[in-house]
Chains A and B, each alone.
Chain A
Amino acid sequence: MSEMRIGGASVYCPRGRLTAEAWLGQGQLSHEEYEQLKQAGIRSVAVDDETPAPRMMERVMEQLLVKHRLPPERIKYVLVPYLYYSFPWTMNVFAAMRERFGLEQALCFSVRDLLCSNVLMAMHIGSKLLERFAGPDDLAVVLAVEKCLLPDQRFGGGHFITGDGAAAVFIGSGPRGDKLLAFRSAADLRTLQQGKMRDGRDEVPDYFYYVNLVKTIRFVLSEAQLEIEDIRLIIPNNIAVETWTLLAKLMKIERDRIYTEGLADSGHINNCDLLHNWQRIGAEGLLAAGDYYLLLTLGSGGVICCAVCQRDRAVPDTASGAQELCAEGAEAFQGSERL
């Protein structure tokens, strides 16, 4: 069975910012929540009120194809994980993408119902489809987009503000890219039950989540024949930082081995922030060739996905920083108005 790799990514991080102060001014936050955000270092998030979601998708897809010189005919699958439905009902976004980029060989479909874990599940599905049904040169693209159309969708209490963005990543069995070594997901109906904090003094807000997080990580590490000590970094999605602090405590690892710096910059972007973080890790040089790392997502209701990866010797896609990529994305967008 051929080894699957994450070949590279492109991200769209809007230049527009929504400040926590403005959000407070609009009556969307309480003063207490505002103070909590300030304490967590969250001053603003990237938002894009102008650009429709399909254009954001086009932007990152174009960037991915150009930057990595991907022949469209090699793309066998396009998987679109998203949480917020941001497309007009009348629009066939997949047909538009196929036509725009010549993706004639691509089976396009969405991956939903796992909330913020859709993105990692989509990467897993893409790699499994390639393993079983595609040729050695074929690729899968995971293309995530999130755009808030209603103010309520940005609300994350004192923990985060939801931003807008898009991201794409390609997977294949080519010689370059980070190896995908193991994957596990957990969707536990028990975690959907709420109201556990009867006396309100629980230090573990929902302990079902943590039991499943630790179990998932242990299982996936065991499948990869690794120990937690072998893992250089855990790259999670951008949710309440306290979640990862407690997880570090339970896993008995240093807190700084879980990367949470993306939250203050990009905000929570549902299915896009994991890929934004992956991109940032590369740009910031936080992983060396051969390092093992975890991609970890936790969605509302306790839906968990976790993948063990190994950084490539020829590290993909790390030369340009996130800011540069934003600029590149903006240029690509100006040149493509067809959708």
Chain B
Amino acid sequence: MVSKEQLIEVVKRVCGKEEVEAESAFETLGMDSTNIVEVLIELEMVLDMDILDANVNLYEMVTVADMYNYLASLTSAAEG
């Protein structure tokens, strides 16, 4: 499972900004849906996570924390 800090690092790399926090909104960071897909690609490739499932919806991911919660839900579903 990815940590919040790891996710924030990936988001920083994609948006090219240093000031990223869990509560940062992707829109505020200047990220569109293409950039969010970039984050998902990084998570799948770099962290070797299987992050897509039937419930994923980019527009429910408003903040970095939303994405983290989604990723956490995948892990708990896999464990459950």
Q: Which chain A residues have a beta carbon within 8 Å of chain B's beta carbons?
A: 190, 193, 196, 198-199, 201-204, 207-208, 210-211, 214-215, 218, 246, 249-250
Q: Is the CB of B41 within 8 A of A196?
A: no
Q: Which chain B residues have a beta carbon within 8 Å of chain A's beta carbons?
A: 32-34, 37-38, 40-41, 44-45, 52-54, 56-59
Question: Of all chain B residues, which has the CB nearest A214?
Answer: B41
Nearest first, the 4 A-B pairs at minimum CB distance are: A203-B33, A207-B37, A190-B52, A214-B41
Question: Of all chain A residues, which has the CB nearest B45?
Answer: A215
Q: Is the CB of B59 within 8 A of A201?
A: yes
A interface secondary structure, majority: helix
**Complex CA–CA separation, A196 to B44 (angstroms):** 19
Residues of chain B lying within 8 A (CB to CB) of residue A204? 33-34, 37, 58
Residues of chain B lying within 8 A (CB to CB) of residue A214? 41
Could you tell me the distance in whole angstroms from the C-beta of A193 to the nearest C-beta in chain B?
A: 5
Q: Is the CB of B32 within 8 A of A211?
A: no
**Complex CA–CA separation, A202 to B59 (angstroms):** 8
Residues of chain A lying within 8 A (CB to CB) of residue B59? 198-199, 201-202
Residues of chain A lying within 8 A (CB to CB) of residue B33? 202-204, 207
**Complex CA–CA separation, A214 to B54 (angstroms):** 20
Q: Is the CB of A218 within 8 A of B56?
A: no
Residues of chain B lying within 8 A (CB to CB) of residue A218? 45
Could you tell me the distance in whole angstroms from the C-beta of A249 to the nearest C-beta in chain B?
A: 6
